[in-house]
Structure 1
């Protein structure tokens, strides 16, 4: 599959790389890491990264401004995105050919060429595997900028190597990436340092979460709470793992209210919860998923189902 992807890349003068909406470090890491990797090895090609920028990821990099005309005859590569509804910038479909590179369950097998491996820790790990094939067969080399972004993507999606998705291969890839010239401390600070108001909201989560006998836990962050702590819904992404150290907890959900919907962020230490996310229009990994609720009554149904899952 890697050879087919590289052969396809060679055929196009313009390549537009996409990732999912509400990006996380792996979305940026795989997308922008791939962009710099291809720019480095094919300087004659035009490589663009599409999608709306998330200011919480300023420390990583920035996507490009992509025009409608850029898609004409272009190769489109979508990384870290399980289904078409979550592709950031739906113009992706107007390209000439689509390659999907992803590590989520392949429920939506879109694209002309698919590189999907659910055993990979991250899409960034898959991009590194593509690089190793290119290195061995096409004399590819990797710039420091790409190594930095791929490393950040792996760190982000493995929870600093704490999540079960971390494998021996993951450690080996990370070990290769840290050989490149970039400041790991600066990168880690950008990923995990928080402003004081966000830490105060984390304290609110610790004080107000509810844990059921089944081992399910939940907390509701309303618009009023966000306003009180002067935190945006986007910034709360840094707090999703906060309850992971609670003894006896099996799985948890954090609800973040927005103007027109409620974000549902699910995490687990054992029970499979991506099926629950799908029940409410979402999806994701077995231990880390997301969905959307459109009322607090619907959010309560998520809680009921999570309790059932943890009790079974």
Structure 2
């Protein structure tokens, strides 16, 4: 098996689960350099995980050993990193979202497509065992044609979370609860139920947070299949609760709460599966296992090795980001 060699850009909050996962994949993936704007953060991160420090992003792009870059920088910077990597013919694995706006997100996807390099996006929840079990039930037709699919995400973030410089601003993050937290559940929603034909939505910033963007969003959806849908998302629900995804089909209903999946079939039998891993729904945003990150990274490395698209692509990320844009702008018409 050819070992895939990657460089990491960014050593902030999102980097730890990736680092833990990469060290477990040492037989398949090698980290050849880490770069960051903060020298102190870089040295602490690299030292903790045993990674070599890179001279600069330009330097790692010029390194012929590097097959791919893992971009873990703030959202507003994603396009710049992706375009540089694509120009250097390096594959890209990008932390969500693609960037802070649809035009920039589309440019990122197109840059990789034009360069002929793979673009994967970090929607690691697709790799959680309970989610994969739910996807199997839906995509195999076990539940029958879908009548409804919805997301209910009642998470909590204290004000100290939003007091971090520029967090929750449009200029840095592109939005609030939808772009930063609910994007994972929305990705699963449209992965399972398909694209959305119409949206009626409302967003707000509650009295519990001082922040620029929304910490509350609600939407009624109609999917292209004709199924109804619903989205509720907030980071103002103390102390935070596991997110709920519900799918109603002709033959039964599936309910996924955190890692606990229950399927109720109309013929009377049930299916239950429990994955004990959490999703960071409370005051500690990184309170979750890195196992799903490991499986996503493993798939991305295999995609490079096998010359195929990864399981989560840039086009997948565009679909969910378009839905978020429609919810935040309260756009009701066809997608």
Tell me, yes or no, whether TM beats 0.5: no
Which gives a bigger RCO, structure 1 or 2 (Cα 8 Å, sep 6+)?
Answer: 2
Interval containing the TM-score (normalised by the shorter chain): 0.3 to 0.5
Higher fraction of helix: 1
Provide the TM-score with structure 2 as the length reference: 0.31
Alignment TM-score, normalising by the size of structure 1: 0.33
The structure richer in strand per residue is 2
